[in-house]
Amino acid sequence: MANQKRVLLLCGDYVEDYEVMVPFQALLAYGVAVDAVCPGKKSGDICRTAVHQLSGHQTYSESRGHNFALNATFDEIEASKYDGLFIPGGRAPEYLAMNESVLDLVKSFANTKKPIVAICHGQLILAAADVVRGRKCTAYPAVKPVLVAAGAHWEEPETLASCTIDGNLITGPTYEGNPEFIRLFVKALGGSIVGSGKRILFLCGDFMEDYEVKVPFQSLQALECHVDAVCPKKKAGEKCPTAVHDFEGDQTYSEKPGHDFPLNANFESVDVSSYDGLVIPGGRAPEYLALDDDVIKLVQEFMESKKPVASICHGQQILSAAGVLKGKKCTAYPAVKLNVILGGATWLEPEPIDRCFTDGNLVTGAAWPGHPEFISQFMALLGVHVKF
């Protein structure tokens, strides 16, 4: 791709799950090339991630997240080939800030005034590299003493979604700010959003897959779309627990507890005519949502009106139950193939697993590794794109 923007994502073990994957897959969906690296690891290796969230204790809780696959080798990168640097948070920055090669890398981006974005605890690396002196900066509140000692002008985040920008430096306190954080980074890279303002509905349920709801949700918010997340029998402000589904060498995917996902709208108040598109995440939620008559009616309305619908992984169980797959070509997680065929669709093999397909108003994918293509194809149906 001519003049394609290229950014570097600096990773480490126990990087926060959302803070690494949401920007990684969102930027890829927008057409940006992203290289994810970790000192001491090579392309194809994994970094373990951490699920951090506020659970009513005096500080955040932690549990194991997904395994994040690197796609480049740290020792082979040349900073001059990149247009920007992205530093996720979590616990990884604590030890990465002790690595001289990491600090030299950050300094090289700072010296050339290229955009640098850091979130949550990622600012520990900026402080260690001495690039925050005299700069306005925010972070997860516990990082404040380090930033102040490093000479930064601390900006108290009004909310955990607030971001601060000072020249080429963009900082944020937590993954709740991912949409603004990513949007500011895209702008700093010279990008602009075309076709914003679309209204999207997410059909959620307990133990939907963690990435499969949060990544497209925040990716679309970053594009200045209005995104509502609803769940039958729950109200705005309530949460859905999620599941971390991963591929760890077993005959099927493993499952671990994920983040709690907050709903921001009421299912009973949904008016299909007020939305431009529908997204159905996978995980285990579709198994029981497919039994809900109100869910079936909702999906049928979107499909009958020819509005864009994007469904991934096990989400196609709902499409099959709704009888809207007849005559369609689609894919899904391979274990859902029977549902798809019995629903009257032509099965499209997801080879590789990140492959997605569009048939008319319907976008389908097999699993969360396909998010960049999944989101990009949905954006095309919505008439939204990022222009560089």
Catalytic residue (choose from 11, 137, 313, 356) = 313
Interatomic CA distance for residues 118 and 177, integer angstroms: 11
Catalytic residue (choose from 120, 225, 231, 356) = 120
Residue with the two structure tokens 């009973």:
268
Interatomic CA distance for residues 181 and 173, integer angstroms: 10
Helix or strand (DSSP H, E) at 106: helix 100-111
CB 205 within 8 A of CB 186: no
CB 218 within 8 A of CB 26: yes
Separation of first and last alpha carbons in the chain: 12
Q: Tell me the three state secondary structure of residue 194.
A: strand
Encode burial over 138-149: b for 16+ CB neighbours within 10 A, e otherwise.
bbbeebbebbee
CB 219 within 8 A of CB 375: yes
DSSP 313: G
DSSP 334: G
Is 314 a known active-site residue? yes
Catalytic residue (choose from 52, 66, 121, 259) = 121
Which residue type does 224 have? E
Is 121 a known active-site residue? yes
Catalytic residue (choose from 314, 330, 356, 371) = 314
Catalytic residue set:
120-121, 313-314
